[in-house]
Amino acid sequence: MLERLTDGFEKYDVDEELRRSLRNVEDHTIRVIERVEGLRVLLQNILTVNATLVGQRQNDEIQRLTEFSLCQSEEVKRISSWAAILFAPSLVPTVYGMTFQVMPELDWRLGYPFALLMHDRARPRGGAGL
């Protein structure tokens, strides 16, 4: 816009004082535009650095959670191993430790395996076991 005004100086015979004032306004406008552009670039760089730091913080948090999950998985493996080891020795005394005199499976050779199989099938799915 200032360019068009300066182009019309000669055509409209504008006073020299007004010309100097408009050139001064043009110089100030150019400085302000350059300063705003510099601040825009600075703000863009600040936002880039901030995004990088946020991403790095998120990566650190994900890494910490992954390490925690791996440790927890190892603990679950240990507990499951001990449960499997202790299951068989505790099953036999459980079955043979029953002190009932009248049990239908006592008279039949395959009574205990059949009773255990039926117990497993009668148990509701997703519920508690033995």
Tokens of 31: 């400085």
pLDDT at site 72:
95
| pLDDT 10s digits, 71-109 | 999 999 999 998 888 887 777 777 666 666 666 666 777
pLDDT tens digits, one per residue of 23-69: 888 899 899 999 999 999 999 999 999 999 999 999 999 999 999 99
CA distance 68 to 73: 9
What value does the mean pLDDT of the chain take? 81
Place of tokens 């927890």: 72
